[in-house]
Amino acid sequence: MAYGLLFDYLTGQCIEAYKYFGAHFESREVKEIISIPLKKDPSRTKKSSRKKLIEGVVFRLYAPCATDVSVIGDWNNWDPGIHKMNKVDESGVFEIFIEGLHNYSFYKYHFKNARGEYVDKADPFAFLSEYRPGSCSRLFNINGFIWHDAPYLKQRSRNFDAPMSIYEMHLGSRRGKVDGRNLSYEEIADYLIPYLKETGFTHIEIMPITQYPFDGSWGYQATGFYSVDSRYGNPMQLMSFVDRMHQAGIGVILDFAPVHFATDPWALKDFDGTPMYEYGNEHMYSPWGSCQFDLGKDPVRSFLMSAMRYFVDYFHFDGIRVDAVSNIVYWDGNKNNGENTGATEFIRRLNGKMHYADQSVMMIAEDSTDFPGVTKPLEYGGLGFDYKWDLGWMNDTLKYYALDPIYKKYDHNKLTFSMAYFFSENFLLPLSHDEVVHGKGTILNKMWGDYDQKFALVRNLYTYQFAHPGKKLNFMGNELASWDEWNETKSLPWELKRFPKHDSVSRLVRDLNLIYRKESAMHYEEYNPVHFNWLMVDNKNDSVFAFERRVGDSHLVFIFNMTPNYYESYDIGITREGTYTEIFNSDKDVYGGSNAYNGLDVMSYYWGPENKPHKISVKIAPFAAMIFKYAHKNGEEIKEKKEGK
């Protein structure tokens, strides 16, 4: 079994390398020589043997160009002469079993590298690592956690026809430190679960929690790709975090960065004296100054695929968000440099194997390129992701909302263009952490206008995001409408909840989540163009947009006013004769608006704008966003059928 796994690892086909490499607690049966007294003469003895179980740790290291390899740790006073490792395979695998070790012991590997230098390296497969500025690996037995999420896993899916509203978060800064220390995984779950249940999010996506030395990298430049971030606890504590989320019905997605790693000399860089994990040419360093993984090397492929599978297997994560796919598909992230075919083959292999191992696990691409077929199935020549971040939608939309309304008619296409390409991929609409840092301003700051107009536009924007086809993602704090950019060193400004303007935005996000989850038109078969129809798309002079989404009995009409103009009665063309009920209006006072909403049902009439067969006349407040639901035919009352019946 081990040799088969090793062969797969060396040929780039392994997704379970964590079961072989690293430091594993195990019991071994040994023969013990004992002396047994003779029955006739008890003063005399005879030699015999018996089987005995001993507890210890087996260490395995892959380092092809290393020699004179030892395990050094706090149990042997860091003496490289005590526990020499045996070379058990000519490919460069070293192994040793050491009896009597315990959780949390510190260790490293000591060996002579390809240049003849003795170095101390952290274990690439360590399950726990020392908190910075320490650099040691630590022993931890990852087996034995008792899970309680079987009902959740039984019904888990990739959510193609289900609502998926993701709350992206950085674990350390949502509440910040308490008494100078980070909250543990369990403590974070204590306050996070009630909040997510209240606000209606279906999933969380946590920024990278593989061990990383520099806080300012937010986890995107890691050193330990199997090590759970020790800032917040140990692997069992993370398992508890995910288990409790699942028991509350909340999915958990892990942000993972397989493109690059930190350059610290005790980690992966120049591991055995050769570029074992990184490129050995001009592509060695990324635009961020980190080392780029050589995704064309088979052992590197196995290393990264296994790391992602490890978090799904042992921690029950529901999906993996793969960071910086643009830097995978193109050399150095530049389309002009051409496709990195070794890296795209890695992605296809990763997605194929992850889905083969568990068809309910999502694979999500954070990709800013127009590389074709990112979410197309492998059998049709695609990369095999389930979802792709629509960064084009995000950029165009935020630019449009920042415009002076006078000039919006000249950039009308920024809001309509996304639907021209939307059905080419399974897109996810992100308003992520990248948009609220580094001087970009917060979502609220990006909006045009004065104080009240900015809030009105934020409410409009969030409604537009939920109305638009595609899964949703919002970074923590978006729902607070904060003026201050996110800072990983401090807590979100929760004191804003005391102010009605800010608290009302949280209420709006909650209500949008509830409507999104209830109305099948907003999530069922949303990648099928038959369910989407523009009602008003060319009205650039008024900058009023309208579209409908319809699935079965769920038929919704969405209307957006992108200017400060007020309309007491505005005609919107529709396709279906009947009576419509306004189920949401961003200008209601509970959301901080002026309360200019449509309190009574509106009936349709013949002939509408843009060649529509019918129309409804509605009141539209400045910068308002509205959702109308088809109720019944004019003059009739029908009971709405429950979804799915």
Q: Contact at 8 Å (CB) between 556 and 628?
A: yes
Average pLDDT over residues 10-17: 96
Nearest to 70 by CA among 79, 78, 60, 80: 80
Q: What is the pLDDT of residues 582-596, one digit of tens each?
A: 999 999 999 999 999
Q: 553: buried, middle or exposed (CB in 10 Å: 19+, 13-18, 0-12)? A: middle
Q: Contact at 8 Å (CB) between 522 and 551?
A: no
pLDDT of residue 280: 93
Q: Contact at 8 Å (CB) between 362 and 388?
A: no
pLDDT of residue 642: 43
pLDDT of residue 45: 76
- The single-letter code of the amino acid at 499 is F
pLDDT of residue 30: 75
CATH number of 531-632, picked from 2.60.40.1180, 2.40.50.140, 2.102.10.10, 3.90.330.10? 2.60.40.1180
Distances (CA, A) of 521 to 474, 526, 558, 559: 21, 8, 12, 15
Confidence of residue 638 (pLDDT cuts 50, 70, 90): very low
Average pLDDT over residues 271-281: 96
Q: Would residue 200 be called left, alpha or beta, if left means φ above 0 and alpha means ψ between -120 and 50 degrees?
A: left
Q: What is the pLDDT of residues 478-531, one digit of tens each?
A: 999 999 999 999 999 999 999 999 999 999 999 999 999 999 999 999 999 999
Q: 284: buried, middle or exposed (CB in 10 Å: 19+, 13-18, 0-12)? A: middle
Please name the residue ranges forming H helices in 140-287: 150-155, 185-199, 235-247
Say whether pLDDT at 374 is over 60: yes
Say whether pLDDT at 31 is over 80: no
pLDDT of residue 645: 45
pLDDT of residue 97: 97
The answer to whether 2-138 and 531-632 have equal CATH topology is yes
Q: What is the pLDDT of residues 531-562, one digit of tens each?
A: 999 999 999 999 999 999 999 999 999 999 99
- The single-letter code of the amino acid at 267 is A
Say whether pLDDT at 88 is over 80: yes
Average pLDDT over residues 80-106: 96
Name the catalytic one among 255, 270, 272, 366: 366
Q: Contact at 8 Å (CB) between 109 and 71?
A: yes
pLDDT of residue 3: 59
pLDDT of residue 637: 57
Nearest to 632 by CA among 605, 607, 601: 601
Specify the pTM: 0.93
Question: Is residue 366 among the annotated active site residues?
Answer: yes
Mean pLDDT for the chain? Answer: 94
Determine the Cα–Cα distance for residues 318 and 242; give it in Å rounded to an integer.
9
pLDDT of residue 4: 86
pLDDT of residue 36: 77
Phi, psi of 338 (to 5 degrees): 90, 165
Determine the Cα–Cα distance for residues 222 and 228; give it in Å rounded to an integer.
11
- Domain positions in the chain are 2-138, 531-632
Question: Is residue 345 among the annotated active site residues?
Answer: no
pLDDT of residue 493: 95
pLDDT of residue 87: 96
pLDDT of residue 639: 47
pLDDT of residue 1: 40
pLDDT > 70 in the chain, percent: 98
Higher pLDDT, 404 or 642: 404
Name the catalytic one among 205, 278, 294, 323: 323
CATH number of 2-138, picked from 1.10.167.10, 2.40.50.100, 2.60.40.10, 3.50.50.60? 2.60.40.10
- Residue-by-residue DSSP string for 131-176: PTT---EE-----------HHHHHH----TTS--EEEEE-TTTSS-
Q: How many CB atoms lie within 10 A of CB 221?
A: 24
Say whether pLDDT at 336 is over 50: yes
pLDDT of residue 40: 73
pLDDT of residue 636: 65
Confidence of residue 644 (pLDDT cuts 50, 70, 90): very low
Least confident span in 43-52, 152-161, 328-337, 555-564: 43-52
Average pLDDT over residues 273-278: 97
Q: What is the pLDDT of residues 95-153, one digit of tens each?
A: 999 999 999 999 999 999 999 999 999 999 999 999 999 999 999 999 999 999 999 99
